Structure formats: C-alpha cells, structure tokens
Structure 1
Amino acid sequence: MPTRRPARPAVSPDSPIPLYAQIKDTLRADILDGRYAPHSRMPSESELQTMFDVSRITIRQALGDLQKEGLIFKVHGKGSFVSQPKAFQNVTSLQGFAEAMSEAGHEIVNRVAHFRFAPASADVAARLDVAEGSLVAEIHRVRLLNRSPVSYEVTFLPEALGRQLKRADLATRDIFLILENDCAVPLGHADLAIDAIAAAPAIADALELKKGAPLLRIERLTHDAQGRPVDFEYLYFRGDTFQYRLRIDRERLSTNGARESTRVIRNAHKQSKNN
C-alpha cells in the first residue's frame, strides 16, 4: 500500500493542459516530494479515478507517461510501484565521483579491490603517452553510494604519480583531489566516451549483479592544465542506480551561413536504461 494518500487534488477541465498531463504532474510532484516512497505501491487505477474524478483511460495515460519517465514501474497483477530514484552526475565540469555525489548529499565509500604496478598495455600506454611495457599504477575500486555498490572503477596512472597515490587514503578520497592537493597536479580537461556493455563476472560480483547485466561504461582520459595525460579510467556504472546527464545546445547559423555554438555542452541530461 502507498505510504500516504494525498488529499484529493484539483484538476481543471477548462485548463489548456490536458487532464492526464495535470494528473501526471500532480503524481510526479508527490513522488519527488517523497509522499510515495521508493518501491511503495501507487493507488490503483480505480482509486485514482475516484481521487481525480476522471475516466480510467485518462488515468492510464498519466501512469503510462510516469512509467516512460522511469518514475514508476508496473508489476503484472499487483499494480504500479514507485521506482528507486537514481543518483546522477552532470558532465558540466571535471569532478570526481565522490566530489560530485558529496555535494548532492550522498554518502560515498570506496572499497579498494587492489593496487598494483603492471606493464602498460599498448592501449593504456598510448592513452597515457608512455612507452608500452613501462610500469603504470593500476587501481581497482568499488564505489559505494549510500552503502550500496554503484560503480566499479579501474584507474591507470604513470608510475611516478602512482607511487605518490600508494600512500594516499583511496578508501575515502577522490583520485582527482589527491592529484591536485597531494601531488600538486592541476587538472585541465578530460575526454569521455560512453557506451553500454554486459557485465563481466568479476565486475558483476563486485556490483552485486547477475553476469551479463547491462552496465554503463565510461572511458575517461584526464589531462593536467598543460594538456599532459595523467589519469586513464574505465568506469562501470550500474544502469539501475546511476546516470550521467548532459545538455547540448543547437548550433545557430550566423549571418554568413556558418554554424556558431552558443555553448556546446552546458548542463546535462542523458540517462541510461534501467536493468
């Protein structure tokens, strides 16, 4: 049963906004305000009909839109339930995961799976601009968001930086902040590539998922303020608990016909699919 049934809300048949959209907005606000807790059951279609004094098809349109937005999910024979809200990180500035999540009020803990020095593969060497086979630091960490595993992080750094990080507290601190504050490496920019993959067994176990479950994979190559590569990472995120968001602007045509961008990337809105 829902945790709390709100008082009967008012919808206006005379409004230019369709009734189903008014109902959807009301229910969305109730979900986001916490009136319906994650995984709690929403009122049934007949209860919502009575609550809003509208037809069943109108209620179904409103619930259908909420489901498309990922705010609710349906269980056959049992009704509609509130989805667990996802944490998200905007790709508007270069921030570490803990840095961004802490600002949003989340608790972050890192579980260090292992830290070793290993010969650089051809791909890692090319990304970090070091000789193939030279030693690089390889760090594996499980990131826990509010005490639940949300991502698996594999980080590669040049050996000299890795030696400095070996002494750092990787269980509680972001590597970005360690690089800047402990190693005096001012960060400049990062190149990202985002795709979806199936979870390999080791990563699935670490994230408490089934083998082959969908993951959001981020490849991130971070450079210092002089443009030198200092940190190459593979970030594997659970698609059901986290999303990266970005907003892009449409390039406008100038008077001479050339395209000019107001701001190519400004805020963020991109989301991965649920499991």
Structure 2
Amino acid sequence: MPNLHPPFELDSPIPLYQQIKEKLRSGILDGTYGPHCRMPSESELQEMFDVSRITIRQALGDLQKEGLIFKVHGKGSFVSQPKASQNITSLQGFAEAMSSEGHEISNRVVSFEFVPASTQVAAKLELDEGTPVAEIHRVRLLNRKPTSYEITFVPEPLGKRLQRADLITRDIFLILENDCGIALGSADLAIDATAATPAIALALEARKGAPLLQVERLTYDAAKRPIDFEYLYFKSGTFQYRLKVDRKRSADARGKRQATEAKA
C-alpha cells in the first residue's frame, strides 16, 4: 500500500478532508494509483491517515465528483481513466493550464502554411476574404498521449513570426505575448460536439467518426482586435472544460430584499 501519510497541518484553515483529498489526488495524478487500480478501502485509509471514517468519505466523495475515482458496489473505489480539465474563467493556453496541474505537454506540428482566408476565417479576423493567413495544424500530447487536434489561423505578419518560433514545446499564446509583444485581452468560445474526420481520427489515434469535443475560440488583444482564430478538437474522455458560475439576482429580487432590510 503506498505511504501517503502527511504530516497534516492541523492548524491550517484547509479542512482535514481536503488535505487528504489532495494527497490522494496527487497519488492518482503521479501514477501511484494507476487507471482502474483499486483504491485502499475506507478502513485502510482511516488507518493510513489516522482520521475518522466520515473524513475519509468526504475526501473520496470529492474525488468522485472530480471524476478521478468511481465506485463499484461491494468492491470499493477505483481510479478512473485520467481526464484533464481546464478552468475557462481565465484565458490560458493548453500547455500553460495543464503544466500548472503537473501534466507533461508536448506538441506535434502537422502542417504550417500560408493560405487565402476563407469567408469564415476572414470574418472572424476582420480581414478581406482571400487575404493571406497562416494556418497551423498541431496535435497536443498530454502525458505523451494525443489529446487534442488544434487548427490555428493568424494574420500573415504574425504567422511569419510564429514560423520562426518553437511550436513543439510552447503555447502560441505565450509566443504572442513574450516574443511578439502582444498583450492578450479576451476570447470568445463556442463549445459543441462533433465527429472525428479521418485525418483528425488518425492524428488522435481514435476511430473515424468518434465523438470529439469541439471548441471554436477567437482571441482578441488588449485593444479588442481579433488576432487568433482556432478550432480545438478534444478526444472524448480525456479532457473537460470547467466553469464556476454565480446566480445573478434579478433587479426585482434585489429591490424586494433591500425593502425588507430597510423595514427591519
């Protein structure tokens, strides 16, 4: 049984179950517990961490909510096939986001060429149709396994800068910021489901027609000029976007609450 015993920070503001969850989570992500491996039982984890069964159940419950483990009735908890996730409340490149989670990222450049902008690409980048743009195809590898296929379009002047850059190990966002001196501002995203074309299926080592998560992303610089238009195709079961949202109170609800507070 892997030794994941802390020490815990008993005076930490972080609840004990969350500290245990992070220890187990690290063990899953670094391969200590491999995919489909049975996790220690609740009683074994109690002994390992010297805590109550309720605390262990809270930690395991959170891991299950994150999709890192699944339960089989009568047999215990098992490690799920790893699924990376990216929070889309901030604008980050794939490698930038995944590296911060401890994943290994590399890229395989499939093609890089200058082509006339199609009607859609021209409209997105606010160019005349037929204007030369760089079209870049890359396979993104997560922990050495093909995870996404990325098609990027940028205006020709930026494309010439990217042509000389290291696209195998670096995010295009970081190259635009650090090498080209462009301050990125925001992005519009549209998320959908699609089926893998033969070329993309081959690149992602998936079957033809396999389900993919499709993300269409248009990135603007700080002056709100569109500079990067992309199609991102993620292999099913390997990646998810996450977003935390708050409920927006209506004006009527706020008014009633304020009136109640005033009376009180």
TM-score, normalization by structure 1? 0.70
Match in the other structure for 2:110: 113
Say whether the 8 Å CA contact 1:187–1:224 is kept in structure 2: yes
Identify unmatched segments of 5+ residues in structure 1: 7-24, 53-62, 259-275
Is 1:199 the equivalent of 2:196?
A: yes
Give the aligned residue type for 1:42.
R
The partner residue of 1:216 within 213, 218, 225 is 213
CA RMSD in angstroms comes to 3.6
Shift of 1:176: 0.7
Structure 1 pair 158–254 and aligned structure 2 pair: CA distance change class (3 A): same
Letter of the 1:251 counterpart:
K
For the residue of structure 1 that corresponds to 2:27, the secondary structure is coil
Match of residue 181 from structure 1: 178
Give every structure 1 segment of 4 or more consecutive aligned residues whose post-TM-superposition deviation is greater than 3 Å.
Answer: 3-6, 27-36, 40-43, 65-75, 78-81, 254-258
Distance 1:196-1:28 versus aligned 2 partners, 3 A rule: farther
Alignment match, 1:86: 83
SS at match of 1:171: coil
State the identity as a percent. Answer: 64
**Equivalent in the alignment of 2:33:** 37
Cα distance in 2 for partners of 1:96, 1:67 equals 27
Q: Distance in 2 between matches of 1:176 and 1:120?
A: 21
Distance (Å, rounded) in 2 between the aligned partners of 1:214 and 1:38: 25
When normalised by structure 2's length, the TM-score is 0.73
Query: In structure 2, how many angstroms separate the alpha carbons of the residues matched to 1:245 and 1:121?
Result: 31
- 1:106: how far off? 1.5
Aligned length: 229
Query: What is the match of residue 148 of structure 1?
Result: 145
Aligned to 2:224: 227
In 2, the alpha carbon distance for the partners of 1:164 and 1:68 equals 43
| Matches of 1:256 and 1:39, distance apart in 2 | 47
- Taking the aligned partners of 1:151 and 1:210, their CA distance within structure 2 comes to 14
Which of 158, 164, 168 is the equivalent residue of 2:165?
168
Structure 1 residues 223 and 84 mapped into 2: Cα distance closer, same or farther (>3 Å)?
A: same
Distance verdict in 2 for CA 1:255–1:170, change over 3 Å: same
Q: Equivalences for 1:51-70 in 2 at 5 Å?
A: 70=67
One-letter code of the match for 1:122? T
Matches within 5 A, 1:13-28: none
Partner of residue 262, structure 1: none
**2:262 alignment partner in structure 1:** none
User: Displacement of 1:74 after TM fit?
Assistant: 8.3
Give deviations 1:58-101, integer Å, cap 9, x for gaps.
Answer: xxxxx9x98786445689xx997421221111112111111111
Which residue of 1 is the match for residue 235 of structure 2? 238
The answer (yes or no) to whether the contact 1:88–1:245 under 8 Å persists in 2 is yes
In the alignment, the residues of structure 2 paired with residue 165 and residue 140 of structure 1 have an alpha-carbon distance, to the nearest angstrom, of: 13
Q: Deviations over 1:206-238 (max 9, x none)?
A: 111111111111100001111110000001111
Counterpart CA distance in 2 for 1:256 and 1:79 is 46
User: Structure 2 CA distance, aligned partners of 1:101 and 1:66?
Assistant: 18
Aligned-partner Cα distance in 1 for 2:131–2:179: 24
SS in structure 1 of the partner of residue 109 of structure 2: strand
1:98 corresponds to which residue? Answer: 95
Please say if residues 150 and 237 of structure 1, whose CA atoms lie closer than 8 Å, have aligned partners that are also in contact. yes
Distance of aligned partners of 1:4 and 1:182 in 2 relative to their CA distance in 1, 3 Å threshold? closer
Unaligned runs of 5+ in 2: 5-17, 47-59, 256-264
Structure-1 residue corresponding to 2:244: 247
Quick one: distance in 2 between partners of 1:48 and 1:98? 35
Query: Which whole-Å deviations, capped at 9, do the CAs of 1:100-148 have from their partners, x for residues lacking one?
Result: 1122222111110000000111000100011111111000001111111
Give the match for residue 21 of structure 1: none
